[in-house]
Amino acid sequence: MISFAGLAPDVAQAMCTPMHLILPASASASSPSTPSTSTSSPPTPATGALYLGAVTAVLDPSLLAEHHIQHLVQVLDVPWLPAPPPGLTAYRMDILDLESVDLRPHLDGAVADIDAALRAGRNVLVHCQQGVSRSPAVVIAYLIRKRGMGYEAAAALVRQRRPCVKPNAGFVRCLKEWGAATQATAQAQAQATAQAQAAGYAPPVRGAARPTARTREVLSH
């Protein structure tokens, strides 16, 4: 049983809240200047919204429908995971919430899956058992790689949205090491590209001073 003794009110309330919005959906290129021709369905966003929460959110179909969740990233180690509701897809990660667990081998695939779903305009819910350690670690990894944030900034943003977030110490260590490696790879590629452009081997792309997030993802594998 979860104990709320000694917890700040906002932390306790967050633990009782099934899910929180981390990143809102971005508007499509035609919105809002181009009005929708249909009143029954909203226009497809350019990118979907990213949510973080607990397994209780998955057990509430009305909550998922209210927030238009279309894809789940499930970070759990239990065999009784409920099947995704009709119309939803899922990416599952079998991870224990232990400091000894090396999170790094799981992050590339999870981040790529989240990114693909969001780019397709789908709302994504990343969840674990309580939405405190495992799933927040995955969301932080997404922000590090795809939003170019450092660990501290990414963790602060996620904690601001869901105050109960507290990845275990082992996950924090893995995220910092993985983030540093990701940043080093991106910087090395940017330097190599700049040198190639200066030598006349790779003409610069207008309006692009550095590799895109997608380029960094491909090069880091």
In a domain, 64, yes or no: yes
Q: What is the pLDDT of residues 74-83, one digit of tens each?
A: 999 877 777 7
Query: Which of these is catalytic: 16, 128, 164, 174?
Result: 128
214 domain-assigned: no
The reported pLDDT for the residue numbered 23 is 98
Cβ atoms 144, 179 nearer than 8 A: yes
Asked whether residue 14 is domain-assigned, the answer is yes
> Over pLDDT 70: what percentage of the chain?
76
Kindly report, residue by residue over 176-204, the tens digit of the pLDDT. 999 999 989 888 888 888 888 888 775 55
Predicted confidence at residue 148, as pLDDT, reads 93
Q: Which domain holds residue 50?
A: 9-26+43-178
In a domain, residue 91? The reply is: yes
Closest Cα partner for 47 from 71, 66, 17? 71
Q: How many CB atoms lie within 10 A of CB 82?
A: 11
Q: Is residue 198 part of a domain?
A: no
Mean pLDDT of 155-170: 97
Specify if 120 maps to a domain: yes
Read off the CATH number of the domain in which 87 is found: 3.90.190.10
Tell me the C-alpha distance between 172 and 186, whole Å.
21
Burial class (CB in 10 A: 0-12, 13-18, 19+), 177: middle
- At residue 83, the pLDDT reads 75
Report yes or no on 48 lying in a domain. yes
Report how many domains make up the chain: 1
Q: Is 128 a catalytic residue?
A: yes
